Amino acid sequence: MLFSAVYPLLLVVALIHQNYLRVLVIMQLRPTLLMKAKVRPTTHYVRTCRIIRMFDLYVLDIMSSYLSALYALHLFEKTRPLPYKPAELKLLGQCRQENFAWRHKFLKMFIYPQPVQAAEKVLLVHGWDGRSIMLRHLAQRLQAKGYVVFAPDLPAHGVSPGKGVSFYDLSRAVIDMERQYGPFSVVIGHSSGGLVSCMAALQGLCFKRMILISSPCCFGEVLDNYVFNQKLPRHIAAPMKTLYRLRYGVHPDKIGPELIKKIKQPVLILHDKGDVSIDMEEAMVLNHALDNSELIVTEGKGHNGALRDASVFSRIAAFLDPVEQENYSTIVDPALRLRATLVKPVKHPVR
């Protein structure tokens, strides 16, 4: 495709761009800080890359909606992993860091420990294109309350290797984390990490309580919004969803309130009125679907502000107070679980 043909040329342009900046730094016309970020086409020529990819997609769509859906799915699952800066690694210095083996690769797990081995465990699940460092303030406050906190970089995110991953595989990764480090008393998901946590819960993830922060309510709508926001052909959403159903056995539209209502453990839903990433209505739908939930609406926090806010954490702490006296529970009826647990994932899906 055109993007593959043009990308080497973009790399050459990026190299010239990098050396031009180096000359400016040497001549003291620009600060040395400018050289800390490497010039790459996907980071510095985002608009150009997007135009070329959209051209490829529309050409494929003329040839075959199936091929265009495959390519759109590849773009949808593509992540932008960001390496940690030295200052960020210093902030994470108090954590125990482990490489958790997963599907011939590894996941980076950051653990905020406790001296008491019997301490309750909390799993933090970040959102799409996020990293565990985003949940650092929340993790530190939970650690101060006596919890052992596990904050992974999900597959193809942060320093965990990979260029792309599906929501289905992310939920399986959460299940595998439970087998290695769990059971977790509390699962906290932010943004799409909340939806991934729900998907894992429907596959038998064992926990006492769950907290969803700024989370969407339906995977099918996440796909629809992606197609709309990226200005893709509107009809492409249907074959994309069909491909997911063929790969994993569950249609994305089925992963929504109708299925999530099967979660019976207490759930705290936090959402901000001014969240421009995930609409407030999605939190209301989640709260209506779940029988044992509580909705807390904030104002002025945005999409990420609740992760750092002390007043929000006080509400979270109050919600978690009964955890020590509660028992673990999970869904025991296999008919309620996602068929994804019964379907082996495709090892090398066509891109």
DSSP character at residue 329: B
pLDDT at 287: 95
Integer angstrom CA distances of residue 346 from 31, 166, 243, 349: 48, 11, 11, 6
C-alpha R_g of the chain: 21
List pLDDT tens digits, range 182-208: 899 999 999 999 999 999 999 989 999
In the chain, what percentage of residues exceed pLDDT 70? Answer: 93
Q: What is the mean pLDDT of the chain?
A: 87
> Are the beta carbons of 260 and 289 closer than 8 angstroms?
yes
Average pLDDT over residues 3-27: 85
Q: Which of 74-88, 175-189, 313-327 shows the lowest per-residue confidence on average (mean pLDDT)?
A: 74-88
> Are the beta carbons of 68 and 233 closer than 8 angstroms?
yes
> Are the beta carbons of 337 and 204 closer than 8 angstroms?
yes
Q: Residue ranges per domain, the chain?
A: 2-63, 86-341
Answer with the residue of higher pLDDT: 39 or 198.
Answer: 198
Q: Which of 52-61, 64-73, 133-142 shows the lowest per-residue confidence on average (mean pLDDT)?
A: 52-61
In angstroms, the CA 158 to CA 165 distance is 13
Which helix H or strand E contains 99, and what residues bound it?
strand 96-102
Architecture of domain 86-341: 3-Layer(aba) Sandwich (3.40)
DSSP character at residue 84: P
Which helix H or strand E contains 47, and what residues bound it?
helix 46-63
pLDDT at 180 over 90: yes
Answer positive or negative: Cα dihedral of 297, 301, 303, 307.
Answer: negative
From the CB of residue 317, how many other CB atoms can be counted at a distance below 10 Å?
Answer: 13
List pLDDT tens digits, range 258-280: 999 999 999 999 999 999 999 99
Integer angstrom CA distances of residue 8 from 2, 17, 21, 226, 257: 11, 14, 20, 28, 45
Hey, which of 19-33, 49-63, 138-152, 333-347 has the most confident mean pLDDT? Answer: 138-152
Phi and psi at residue 151, to the nearest 5°: -130, 95
Kindly state the tokens that stand for 212.
């969803």
pTM of the model: 0.85
> What pLDDT band is residue 342 in, cutting at 50, 70 and 90?
very low
pLDDT at 247 over 70: yes
> Are the beta carbons of 214 and 274 closer than 8 angstroms?
no
pLDDT at 21: 86
